[in-house]
Structure 1
Amino acid sequence: MSAPSWGKGAAGRSSDDRKGAMKLRPSMGTGRRWLVLAAAVFVVFGALGLSRFSYTSILPFMQAGLRLSNSQAGGLATANLAGYMAMAVVGGALASRFGSRYVITGGLLLAALGMVVTGLAESYGPAVGGRFLSGVGAAAASVPAHTMVALWVPSHRRALAAGIAATGCSLGLVLVGPLIPFLMASWGPGGWRSTWLLLAGAVVIIALMGAVVMRNRPAERPARHQAPATRRPDAFEHPAGWKRIYLTGKVWQLGALYFLFGFAYMAYLTFFTKRLIADAGYSAQDAGTVFMILGWASLVCGILWGWVADRVGRERAMALILLIQALAYSLLGLSTGFGPVMISAVLFGVTAWGVPAIMAAVSSDLVGPALAPAAYGFLTVFHGFGQAAGPYVAGRLADVLLTFSGSYLMAGGVAFLGALGMMAYRRAGSAAREPVSTSTPAQSAASETTAYQGRLS
């Protein structure tokens, strides 16, 4: 049986162009698509789940070993996120220009190096450097991984595909919750160092696996007896393409709302284990169990909210997520009782990665799949500023109040403000308002590439 056709030339060309357009057939089918999606999950698992979120569980032991204050502990998280922010735009732009595969692989290897430096640090300064390097590598890997999947699915499944990739964060939470307390109990007070080295080795393995499995986009080739079509300039080669990303007011408005999300959620996550141990009297094992429950709840997050966003709209879905998170943060700030703690963990878990996944889909909606990594990287800078500021402000507030209660109430207020802003937001560009397409990935990418090129010319 011959390979199925993925459609004819891009929509929007003249009739002469359409008559002469080649018929395309995939050189890689559905099986390759699922391999790429699986690779994206593991890339996010390594770049964020292991490199970043493991810090929450390692923090109490690392803080004791290096004798860090709460402000310094927040500063390490800030250094990591500053590195992430510094690389987000560069990594996204490089992925748009040269392809995601090599950028992702290099990013994972750099993140692993930063984890090694963190594990070997003897004082605060080297630890800051290690966390910064990890952040740079995490951005180089995770930003393209979230947007690369948009090229492999129809446009009406973009948020769902990005949500599947975001599941890698959940896998990280599920793993580190029980694993790190077990390793600490087995290896003793200095076990946090060996833990960083072990996790770094896992990230290296993921990098090598991704280099073998990942592809930048579904490869297409002309059917037999047909000449290749004349090459059209890619969107990233047109200066107006970059202006559409960096100089559009609606993109900046969306970035401001992404800042509020990042500020609140990272303040919550960074000190979650510390809140349970220091303020509520939980043992490390019990706190790890609650963190694991949060991770299990988050397994459905990306897929659930990607599905919701594809059906009810991106802004509505993100506003609802922020409202739920505001409740989760406030509950943990008001009480450390078993019920409020569990409800807070589950509410955060089922919404944790919804906004980043939807933002990845919005990036493709706004500027098209070719420039999506660059757009998502630019939005991630706002997110990074929020994530860098949140833990630092929360840590300083805890040092003053001698409890994290005020920090979590602050996070709840910031998330609520973000929900109000998202409700008022109206996305720019006709692409987001057009009827959802049910075309195949190749047809969707071809038509959108032509459409966005038309807007830029």
Structure 2
Amino acid sequence: MKLESKRWLILIASVIINLCIGSGYAWSVFAKPMVALLGATAAAVAMAFTICNSVSPVTMITGGRLVDKFGPKWVIFGGAFLFGGGILLTGYTKSLTWLYLSYGILAGFGMGFIYSCTIANTVKFFPDKRGLVAGIATAGYGTGSIVVAPVANWLITNYGVLAAFKILGISYIIIIAVLSQFIMTAPEGYKPEGWNPPAPTVGSTVTGVDKNWNQMLADPMFYVLLTMLFVGAFSGLMIISQASPIAQEVIKVTPATAALGVSLIALANTSGRVLWGWISDKIGRYAALTVMYIIAGVAVLALTSVSTFGGFVVATMLVGLCFGGVMGIFPALTADMFGPKNNGVNYGIMFSGFAIAGFFGPITAAKVKMASGGYTQAFIIAAALSIIGIILTQFLRYRSKKAMEAKMIAEARM
């Protein structure tokens, strides 16, 4: 099979693998049963989701280095046992400490190892469709809860929450380990037959310069991008982690109806990764991000006055759509800004913005609920952050435009 055809097979395998590790987005389905099981507060139980998302960037960075040594196939294979094993061991939870270690740390580490391989490696196979393919690859991550939320809810209802974790954990180990064998390493500087990269233009995010992680950290624009990722992920992670409890407590729907809402949010999350990835290839990353921040800010602010399930679904799906777009665009944006060569490690470091949001997003919603009895203040905080995202995007857009103009003038004088 030609490499041109193999790259699509690798993309398909990567999407299904990401579907498995993306099941973490269905956490809100497990939240209330785990609160009841452990007799703990919602904030204490939500910390497991927070830990999982906080530790995964650590192994994303490490995973990028291991890929250089062992190749993505075997890093993903090992990650299958970390992630699936963590979910399986969660099925034996009797305390918050065990929950944090199994679901939070072990599954989080496995998630990071796997995600670092499936995203960075796949993007290297598609320099001609970087935004679209980054969106498709990350879409698998968002699809996880579409499939898992109703399945998990059924398993919890019929067998209990601990049995649900055990069944899912074993399934993940098998699926990811098998599909890892279809992954291969992207050749250095790979270009599809007959395709040549376009020259960078004024306003483009593409620098044409490969930077390693040291050089990236020395660039002030890295920290602007990091903050933009944090802002883009904050509202999405806050809603995703608390969607089921919010629907049940504020809109007063049943757990099954709330699980449907979680699946619809995940559908929007998934669609956003592909849609905005494609749009960003057409109109540019910065223009696409600006529109996403505006939509997300308006939608999350609308949640302060929503009283029907239909209104809740529309608003949260819009948040999910934009959150998915941010997560779909940033692997490509990182490669555009700092080059594709070191994108495995570079995006792993950039992903720490997601980890920070993974800590503050869910915990903000839980703390606000505990202090005020509602979520209104949390929604207002998320809307305010979206405004910051718009400002930073325009600042970076302006800086990139000026830098490209200066470069073109210098080249013209040579």
- Using the alignment, how far apart are the partners of 1:205 and 1:292 within structure 2? 24
| Structure 1 residues 101 and 69: alpha-carbon distance in aligned structure 2, compared to 1, 3 A threshold | same
The question of whether the paired residues in 1 share the 8 Å contact of 2:73 and 2:182 is answered with: no
Matched, 1:306 2:277: yes
For residues 161-310 of structure 1, the aligned pairs below 5 Å read 161-187=133-159, 191-218=160-187, 241-310=212-281
Matches within 5 A, 1:73-88: 73-88=45-60
The secondary structure found in structure 2 opposite 1:425 is: helix
Give 1:370 deviation, angstroms: 2.0
Q: Counterparts of 2:78 and 2:168 in 1: how far apart (Å)?
A: 17
User: Which residue is 1:105 aligned to?
Assistant: 77
| Aligned twin of 2:126 | 153
- For 1:350 and 1:396, the matched residues in 2 are separated by 25
Structure 2 counterpart of 1:45, from 19, 22, 25: 19
The structure where helix makes up a greater share of residues is 2
Superposed displacement of residue 88, structure 1: 2.8
Cα drift, residue 28 of structure 1: 3.2
Deviation at 1:151, TM superposition (A): 1.7
Residues 265 and 411 of structure 1 are in contact (CA less than 8 Å); yes or no, is this contact kept in structure 2?
no
Structure 1 ranges of 4+ moved more than 6 A: 427-430
% identical aligned pairs:
22
Partner of 2:293: 322
Q: Given residue 40 of structure 1, which amino acid in structure 2 is its aligned partner?
A: S
- Secondary structure at the counterpart of residue 271 of structure 1: helix
Tell me if the contact between 1:89 and 1:381 (Cα under 8 Å) persists in the aligned partners: no
1:402-436: CA deviation from partner (whole Å, max 9, x where unpaired): 12232223222223322332222238779x969xx
Q: CA–CA distance in 2 between the matches of 1:98 and 1:429? A: 36
Q: Which has the larger radius of gyration?
A: 1
Residue 32 (structure 1) shift: 0.8
Instruction: Determine helix, strand or coil for the equivalent of 1:215.
Output: coil
The alpha carbon displacement at 1:334 in A equals 2.4
Aligned equivalents of 2:294 and 2:64: distance in 1? 29
Alignment root-mean-square deviation, CA: 2.4
Matches of 2:31 and 2:112, distance apart in 1: 21
Q: Tell me if 1:33 matches 2:7.
A: yes
Residues 109-151 of structure 1: per-residue CA shift (max 9 Å, x gap): 2111211222211011110111221111111111221121122
Q: Is the 8 A contact 1:96 1:370 kept in 2?
A: no
2:58–2:348 contact (8 Å) kept in structure 1: no
1:419/1:196 CA distance change after superposition, 3 Å: farther
1:64 and 2:36 matched = yes
The alpha-carbon distance between structure 1 residues 324 and 249, as it changes in their structure 2 partners (threshold 3 A), is: same
How far apart are the structure 2 equivalents of 1:53 and 1:86? 19
Code of the residue aligned with 1:28 in structure 2: it is K
Q: Distance in 2 between matches of 1:115 and 1:344?
A: 30
Preserved CA contact (<8 Å) 2:19 2:141: yes
**Residue of 347, 350, 358 corresponding to 1:379:** 350
Task: Report how many aligned residue pairs link the two structures.
Answer: 384
Once the two structures are TM-superposed, the CA of residue 36 in structure 1 deviates from its matched residue by: 0.5
- The residue aligned with 1:90 is 62
Task: Could you tell me which runs of 5 or more consecutive residues in structure 2 were left unpaired when the two chains were aligned.
Answer: 191-209, 406-414
Q: Which amino acid aligns with 1:271?
A: Q
Cα distance 1:297–1:75, how it changes in 2: closer, same or farther (>3 A)? closer
User: Is the contact made by 2:240 and 2:262 (CA closer than 8 Å) also made in structure 1?
Assistant: no
Give the alignment's TM-score, normalised by structure 2: 0.86
**1:31–1:427 Cα change, 3 Å:** farther
Matched, 1:397 2:368: yes
Post-superposition CA distance 1:33-88 (Å, at most 9, x none): 111100110121112x22x1121211111111111212202322221122213323
Uncovered stretches (5+) of structure 1, i.e. residues with no partner = 1-26, 222-238, 435-457
The 2-side partners of 1:388 and 1:158 are apart by: 29
* Alpha-carbon distance in 1 for matches of 2:27, 2:15: 20
> What TM-score do you get using the length of structure 1 for normalisation?
0.78
CA distance, structure 2, for counterparts of residue 316 and residue 411 of structure 1 = 21
Contact 2:146/2:266 (8 A) holds in 1: yes
Is the Cα contact below 8 Å between 1:85 and 1:385 reproduced in 2? Answer: no
Which residue matches 1:360?
Answer: 331
